[in-house]
Amino acid sequence: MSRTTGTAGGTMGADRPEIEIRGLHKSFGDNHVLRGIDLDVARGEVVCVIGPSGSGKSTLLRCVNLLEEPSRGRVLVGGTELTDPDVDIDAARRRIGMVFQQFNLFPHVSVTGNLTLPQRRVLGRGKAEALAVARENLERVGLAGKADAYPAQLSGGQQQRVAIARALSMGPEVMLFDEPTSALDPELVGEVLSVMRVLAGEGMTMMVVTHEMSFAREVADRVVFMDGGVVVEQGPAEQVVTRPARERTRDFLNRVLDPAAVRAPGVQQDDDGRGREDGRPDAPAGG
């Protein structure tokens, strides 16, 4: 794959994590949402973040690219400290692609326009180059045939794939996904997860907030369970999803994997691969 990722230079220490989060706190007024997060993501690693609604998952992702300003702590991406007051934040942000639950496409512009406009405005690319990059990335998400369509003519799954292609067109070194399939009808979830699976296989560094436990088990190198603004438990996906060590994690997983059954804590179905890609468990607390 001829990826137009960022330039290779500039990183000191090849073993340095791609994302470093240190002592991160975030408050909104007196709502202390993130209460000391320490987390590293290695280059090429896929980390899935799970946890109940309101636990601070979105806030964490938004702090990683400084869409929210941390109240305390440090965030480094590719060795650059984003929380350094002197950093060129626009340059630093260009290394980070973000995909939201709501696809946030420009409705009045074609698919191609959605992919070329940010490249031209933010990266200053010429028309021909932007178009070539757009084509390459539409192909990557399997939508080469929809270049001239408008967002409203596409299914939700296709729109989300366009949003992923748009982010990729900026050549990010890191991709953040915030519940990318939660707004989709169940039958459209798989096509978006497939694209993400391919990206992961290509070695993209990814942080993914998701309730798709089968995806997490299959694709994530590591699963991080958050509750109440802290990391309660983390480890290899298989371990955290099927043999969680902490009771809070078990309770959460029971609710997500089988929302219809509210079990007594501790009564756990701990084995088999009950995760399924289509039985989309929605946000457990309804939000």
* Binding stretches for ligand ADP (CB under 6 A): 28, 31, 33, 51, 53-59
By C-beta, is 59 or 242 nearer to ligand ADP?
59
Strand pairing class (72-77; 80-81): antiparallel
Minimal CA–CA distance to 39: which of 179, 200, 227, 226?
A: 226
Choose from Mg ion, ligand ADP, none: what does 53 bind? Cβ within 5-8 Å by kind. ligand ADP
In angstroms, what is the minimal distance from the CB of 33 to ligand ADP?
Answer: 4
Largest distance between two CA atoms of the chain: 60
127 binds, among ligand ADP, Mg ion, none (CB under 5 to 8 A by kind): none
Of these partners, Mg ion, ligand ADP, none, which one is at the site of residue 56 (CB under 5 to 8 Å by kind)?
Answer: ligand ADP
- Give me Rg for the CA atoms of the chain: 19
Closer residue to ligand ADP (CB): 209 or 219: 209
Residue 57 or 125: the one with the smaller Cβ distance to Mg ion is 57
Positive or negative: CA dihedral 232, 238, 244, 248: positive
In the complex, the smallest distance separating the C-beta of residue 178 from Mg ion, rounded to whole angstroms, is 6
Distance CA 94, CA 89 (A): 9
Of 106, 185, 181, the C-alpha closest to 150 is: 106
Q: Which is nearer to ligand ADP, 78 or 284 (CB)?
A: 284
Single-letter amino acid code for the residue at 116? T
| Residue 44 structure tokens | 């090429």
d(CA 31, CA 38) in angstroms, rounded, equals 20
| Smallest distance from ligand ADP to CB 264, Å | 25
Residue 249 partner contact from Mg ion, ligand ADP, none using kind-dependent CB cut-offs of 5 to 8 Å: none
Residue for token pair 């929809």: 146
Residue whose CB is less far from ligand ADP, 56 or 281:
56
Shortest distance, position 258 Cβ to ligand ADP, whole Å = 20
